[in-house]
Amino acid sequence: MSIKRIISSLFVAASLALSVSAIVPAPARAASLPTPVTQFAACDAGSFFGFPTWYACLPKDSDGHPKLTKLEDVWLIAFPLLETGIKAAAYVAVGFILWGGIRFIKSQGNPGEITASRDTIRDALIGLVICVSSVAIVQFMASRL
């Protein structure tokens, strides 16, 4: 198995693991949040390449600085960080799609290279679908907490 194939497989596995961890509720988290976290729905829209800032959902003090008021506010940091990681994985998947396309163009009719580039593109598309759905799931879960 080639290194590129292993990297693609690890990327897909990591994306799947992140999406599963976002779907499965942790009993400790459910017990530690007795009141709904309503601040996530009103997060700041400021971002860089679509990445939210880590403090986007925290309440602000009178000076506009983020502040932690209670222990449950840690989840207001965790969800933007999780979303950032998943979005970064989606950008990597798009990079793999481009790389597979370039390899396909450069294959010059070699059947082995064509198959390898198609596999790269297919794996990257699967990873991209997982990442996009994971971001939607994380945003949905965060808005319901």
pLDDT tens-digit series, residues 33-46: 444 444 444 565 55
Q: What is the mean pLDDT of residues 54-71?
A: 79
User: Cβ distance 127 to 89 under 8 Å?
Assistant: yes
pTM: 0.59
| Phi/psi at 72 (5° precision) | -65, -20
Instruction: Evaluate if residue 16 carries a pLDDT over 80.
Output: no
Please state the domain extents for the chain: 3-144
CA distance linking residue 54 with residue 109, whole number of Å? 47
User: Cβ distance 100 to 121 under 8 Å?
Assistant: yes
Token duo for residue 122: 């297919």
Q: What would the pLDDT profile of 98-144 be if each residue is shown by its tens digit? A: 999 999 999 998 999 999 999 999 999 999 999 888 888 887 877 77
12 CB-near residues (< 8 Å, 6+ apart) = 123, 126, 127, 130
